[in-house]
Amino acid sequence: MVEQDYIKFLGTAGARFVMIKQLRSSAGIWLSSKGVNVLIDPGPGSLIRALNSRPKLNPEELDAVILTHKHLDHSNDVNLMIEAMTGGGFKHRGSLFAPKDCFGNKGVVFDYAAKLVPRIEYLDKGNFEIKGFRFEVPEKMIHPVLTFGLKFSLGNKTVSLISDTAFFEELKTLYRADVLIINVVFYEKREGIAHLCLGEAKKIISAVKPELAVLTHFGMTMLRAKPHKIEKELTAELGVEVKCAYDGMRLGANLDIIHKDRGQKS
């Protein structure tokens, strides 16, 4: 029996080459809270990963899809997952939360797919609710397109997700939570590219001091540095439990790692 509240990392790929080569899956994050199912950032392969998950995740049971931004590694399967959520378009149900630039001629959400969803809300700074599940957008990220991080609850724990962004000092305070999930693309900083590196993630974790920090959305340099070694080194250095997510990792409300799908990379 699957626990009621959990976060499942369907994919942990970041940056174009890890995505294109599928060295890690780019399928996004599935969140289940008190019976409400939410898919965050359905990139390439999201539907397949959900269906191949152990236990299987049924996209027709989704209550909402959230896009933190429109880049393809976060949004490529959004129209497909909308179709799945709405039973091929025959069930007018579900919600979609996405930044305003995800829609229209330069967006990623097709007009026909948007019409299948009875509720669409533009993601922006503020508070949102889905069938009793509440989440917050603390602030806009620094990224080439409209991008937002999230804060929500998992059981009695608060969870923050820092999506793609350049580092800014307010990240240390805006995203305080029991569980801190950070997209960390680079092992070392690359000037002029609006993604976090490991050193910047360390600054945020040191300031927030969560019960658990989860690093994900890895680029090539993070994979080459061996995430399983990084998590051990950071846990010892920072005095905070740090986990590098892997494809298929499921995190329960009591913050233990519950399950790993067979055949996934760690």
Q: In terms of C-beta distances under 8 Å and separation of at least 24 residues, what long-range contacts does 231-238 make, across chains too? A: 234/202, 234/205, 237/202, 238/202, 238/205, 238/206, 238/213
**Domain residue limits, the chain:** 6-259
- pTM, full prediction: 0.95
pLDDT at 265 over 60: no
CATH number of 6-259: 3.60.15.10
pLDDT in tens, 225-263: 999 999 999 999 999 999 999 999 999 988 887 666 754
Cβ-based neighbour number of residue 231 at 10 Å? 18
- Structure-derived torsion over alpha carbons of residues 55, 248, 2, 42, reported in degrees to the nearest 10: -90
With contact defined as beta carbons under 8 Å apart, do 253 and 6 qualify? yes
pLDDT in tens, 45-85: 999 999 999 989 999 999 999 999 999 999 999 999 999 99
**Closest Cα to residue 158, out of 7, 35, 2?**
7
- pLDDT for position 259: 63
